Amino acid sequence: MAPPKPVPEHTIDRTPEYDKFIEDLRAFHEKRGTSFDPEPKMGNMNVDLLKLFNFIVENGGYDKVSDEKLMWRKMCEGLGLMRHNAPADAYTLKQIFYKQLAAYEIKTVHKKDPPPPEILEFTTAKGGSLLSRTMENFTAKGNKADKDESGDDGTPSRERRPEETPGSGRASRGLREAPAPRVIFHPDTNSSRQTRHASGQQPPPTSNSTPSHPQNQQSSLPPSQSNTPVPAHSQFHPHPLPQPNRGGASHMFNPPAPDMSSPSVGSYQPPPVQQLQLRIVDTPTSNPELFAKKRRLLRQPGPSATANMAALIRSAVPPGSLEGPNIYERCLLALRSGLRAEQAFGLNHLVKISYERGDKYKFSQFMGLAEGLTEFALEVGSLFYDVKWTVSNDPELDDGSIGELDGTNGSSDILERIAQLKRKDVQDSFQSAEFTDHLTLITEAVLTIRNMVMLQENAWFLSDYPTMKDLLCILLHLPDLDVVVELKHFALDIAEQITPFLVLDSDDPLYQTLLAQLNSTDRGTILTSLRAIGRISMSHPTETNKLSDVPPSVLQNLMDWLLLNDDELMDACLDFLYQYTAVVSNLDNLIQNTKLEHLVTQLVRLLSHGAKRGSKEIVLSEASVVFDPPTEQVVPIPKDLLERLIQMEEPERCYAWLRCFFEEDAESQITQISIWQAYNTAFLESLKRINRGMINAADFIRNISTVYQTAGAQIVRDQGPTGEVQKFIIRGIRPRPFPINPEGRPYFRCLWSRSPSAYSRCGSWHLSTETMWEHILTDHLGEARSTEDHKFKNKESLYVCSWEGCTKYRQPTQLHLNQLMLHVKTHLKTEEALNCNNNNNNALTTAAAAAPPHQNGDVPPSPGATRRLKRVIRPAKTIVLTYEETAHVRDERNPNALPQAAGIPLSATLILRNIARNIVKTEAEEKLLKQQQQHANGAGADMGGWNERLFRPVMQRLWEVFIENRLLAPYLSTLFQLLEWS
């Protein structure tokens, strides 16, 4: 048997078909008034509603799947949603389909009208038969369906028989019940003739008659004559109940023999009598005091009677007997009940819920919550004014009352109405308890709205509710009392969250109200108002907030606040001014009512707000070690190196010679004739002897740039005794103080003087101390190797050390040859070490630094050798740059990108750019140019406009910031382009 095909893990395929299905389903739920979750969860997995819908429809639909036992488990397995608990997974999947897709299936697949949400989405997924469910039949069977659910997958159970298993005390769940035991029929042998008993009662049964079980006779007896078991605590009457006249027994009936009866029948015993659980019920007879108290409470007028009655009913109903709505619905119903105690309960919990569950608590899921909170908050008007604000949603029924608000379009004259109100005598120092309690509840209602609008979806919901704008205007125009400060701050917070979704004209009451708050002395009020105004129309890409008709006092306040040492306030003011200066007409208003020159000066000052000044040293050229003074003399070529280079062909020979005798030095130069003559001197005679040619001068000069890319031929002009002289040079290289072989190993020179009395070096170059040692023995001391063992004899004679700078054996001294050559080795090691260190660009100040430890009393070399190899350190060329660092941010998506300007300096730069761009388009610019032309007597001289007047005094500072602040430089460059005269 093949193994079952594995089911892939359930994932959501976000295809265009899926997106269209979700949008159609969302629109269906919005029209139906039910909540919709596009991606419901089963544990840690999100369910693809399109896959679920298609799979269930393919299997016959919700009703058919629910009718079959354990079918929802198979659906989970087929969709790849089965986890560890199969019954729970099956019921969860059924619940998801029931809430999200059942009504949609009825509408789209079966082409019928689905049942109303009250009997579908608003109930549990227990039960089935959705296609035939109506308000009447579901109400009649709904409770039974809820209680009779069986099976682990939530499918509806079959109908139970009312009989219970004898002695069990409960109905069996899911198990097949045993049939009722058969009772052998015993006929009544009494005479069918009417007796003389007037009462109609039969005499007691005889001993040979077997009574039947009352349960079996219950269906055939009238209710008044059924032999029902009597509770143990009730009074028992020993006389039997009258039996109906059955017409007598047949005389031909013979009872069966005992061996023909069933053993189970003979052993049957009737079940014991079950005691019924009774509860005392209050009736007017049993508890007359309670009912008298109810009648007295109903006679009392006012809402207190209703509240007392509700409390009395709650106390009379035993706990757990009634299941009310959840806490969310409970709070909403309490808020709209009109009962002050219930409203206090609901608002107290709403504040807590909105604070702790603000990300889940949405106005769209609780219809009437926004209206209830708003209408309750409008009661603040009756606390301070002689008005009762009400909301009317029917414009045709407007009675002209000052307190009636237009709930459909909003009250455009709300500010005029508020101005006409008559204020009550309310003081901060004392209030009544009723006033304080009522104001506290109103504050809680507004706080609940404030907490909920922190969720963007709730803010968008309230922005489309016109009465909310009226409420904000009412709250922000309350009297200047300490008791309403908190209430006003909550209103400003709400305005800050909903204004991004609003398009407010200059005559809008909310816009005028927010502008009026900028004349306040409360810092928190000013900050929140500026943010709320700046966010108007932020979420509308086609609409812009033009900030028209700003009062002159507000503009002056903004300029004054820029002088304060308050970053948060300055940032809010600059955001406001950035949007304000983006409109040309606003600049005309700014010029007419303020000193715009002062604003520009302050903005230029803020370009360095919070700046950190520093300096950085940039190295133009690195430090180098050179010989001083430089020379153009090229050292002679050693014999062994000459023999190697002669064997090469051109241009390899030229390349090798340049590397061995020259090094790079950007500050040095050598004439072309000198380097060419040195090359000829080294190879011309030797090449002639072997009849080989040399490279020509032009190719030789070109090859120099091939070897050293920094070197190049140049022509310089110099003033000589006879006038200007041209010199052809090679810049960028200099002769080496000692040659190196092609492998980079340096040579060192023999400094043995040929005559002790005269300064005449030997000057021969050697690559190792061994060859130099043998050179001194043979060429300078005249020693020869023995023919026998090819060694030098260690004879004793008068020897002199003629090494340059040596003072130890300046006079002839009786020595063995071995002693003298050990001394000479110290000179050779020192010279070799010195050349190697120089070749590695290590500047040495003394030759002793590279010398080995002194042995046998040898003294260090003389200072003459040090002066000969002395090098000069050429310092690095540097430049010091001064810079400013202001606020900046990095792109979170690209952490390696350069930082970008941000904060107050960037805002100030953008405002300056707005002014320079738009002020030339204003009427004030045209007026100023006309005045200047008239002042110039009509000569047509252009004296410059407002840009000249505003930016000329600060131009020097702008250039300084441009040079020192690299983050603001790109923005300032666009400003300079707008200021063409700069």
647/713 same-domain check: yes
Q: In terms of pLDDT, which residue wins out, 411 or 137?
A: 411
Q: Are 741 and 641 in contact (CB under 8 A)?
A: yes
Rounded Cα gap, residues 389 and 411, in angstroms: 12
- Residue-level pLDDT at 932: 80
> What six digits make up the tokens of 99?
């809430």
Rounded Cα gap, residues 523 and 568, in angstroms: 10
- Beta-bridge partners for 406: 392
Q: What is the CATH number of the domain that holds 668?
A: 1.10.10.10
On whether residue 33 sits in a domain, the answer given is yes
517/387 same-domain check: yes
563/595 same-domain check: yes
Q: Are 883 and 616 in contact (CB under 8 A)?
A: yes
Q: Could you give phi then psi for residue 253, rounded to 5 degrees?
A: -80, 130
Lowest average pLDDT, out of 137-151, 888-902, 940-954, goes to 137-151
On whether residue 249 sits in a domain, the answer given is no
pLDDT reading at 657 higher than 70:
yes
600/648 same-domain check: no
Q: Are 414 and 476 in contact (CB under 8 A)?
A: no
719/777 same-domain check: no
On whether residue 235 sits in a domain, the answer given is no
Rounded Cα gap, residues 379 and 389, in angstroms: 7
Cβ partners under 8 Å of residue 884, min gap 6: 608, 611, 612, 613, 961, 964, 965
On whether residue 179 sits in a domain, the answer given is no
| Three-point CA angle 492, 493, 496, nearest 5° | 85
Mean pLDDT of 79-106: 85
947/834 same-domain check: no
Q: Are 153 and 97 in contact (CB under 8 A)?
A: no
pLDDT reading at 5 higher than 70:
no
585/513 same-domain check: no
pLDDT reading at 411 higher than 70:
yes
514 burial level (CB within 10 Å; 0-12, 13-18, 19+): buried
Rounded Cα gap, residues 441 and 435, in angstroms: 10
pLDDT reading at 239 higher than 60:
no
Q: Could you give phi then psi for residue 973, rounded to 5 degrees?
A: -65, -40
Lowest average pLDDT, out of 540-544, 635-639, 854-858, goes to 854-858
Q: Which of 696, 713, 734 is the last residue of a domain?
A: 734
pLDDT reading at 260 higher than 60:
no
Q: Are 76 and 86 in contact (CB under 8 A)?
A: yes
User: pLDDT tens digits, residue range 803-816?
Assistant: 887 888 888 888 88
pLDDT reading at 484 higher than 80:
yes
pTM of the predicted protein model: 0.51
Q: Which of 680, 704, 734 is the last residue of a domain?
A: 734
> What six digits make up the tokens of 12?
């959501």
Rounded Cα gap, residues 586 and 582, in angstroms: 8
The closest of 729, 741, 730, 714 to 659, measured between CA atoms, is 741
413/533 same-domain check: yes
On whether residue 774 sits in a domain, the answer given is yes
Q: What is the CATH number of the domain that holds 120?
A: 1.10.150.60
Following DSSP, what letter does each residue of 884-911 receive, concatenated? EE--EE--TT-TTSPPEE-HHHHHHHHH
pLDDT reading at 68 higher than 80:
yes
Residue 706 banded pLDDT, cuts 50, 70, 90? confident
- Residue-level pLDDT at 703: 87
Mean pLDDT of 378-394: 90
Q: What is the CATH number of the domain that holds 470?
A: 1.25.10
Rounded Cα gap, residues 61 and 64, in angstroms: 6
Mean pLDDT of 598-627: 86
On whether residue 828 sits in a domain, the answer given is yes
On whether residue 61 sits in a domain, the answer given is yes
959/830 same-domain check: no
- Residue-level pLDDT at 113: 87
Rounded Cα gap, residues 885 and 345, in angstroms: 56
- Residue-level pLDDT at 306: 54
Q: Could you give phi then psi for residue 624, rounded to 5 degrees?
A: -140, 160
The closest of 714, 729, 712 to 671, measured between CA atoms, is 729
Domain count, the chain: 5
- Residue-level pLDDT at 839: 59
On whether residue 727 sits in a domain, the answer given is yes
3-state secondary structure 551-570: CHHHHHHHHHHCCCCCHHHH
Cis peptide upstream of residue 651 (ω within 30 degrees of 0): yes
DSSP H or E run through 713: strand 712-720
767/798 same-domain check: yes
User: pLDDT tens digits, residue range 785-800?
Assistant: 887 777 888 888 888 8
482/583 same-domain check: no
Q: Which of 829, 847, 875 is the last residue of a domain?
A: 875
- Residue-level pLDDT at 621: 74
Rounded Cα gap, residues 128 and 114, in angstroms: 13
605/663 same-domain check: no
Instruction: Write out the residue range of the structural domain in which residue 581 sits.
Output: 551-612+892-982
Q: In this prediction, what percent of the chain has a pLDDT beyond 90?
A: 27
User: pLDDT tens digits, residue range 718-765?
Assistant: 776 777 778 888 888 888 888 888 888 888 888 888 765 555 778 788
- Residue-level pLDDT at 383: 92
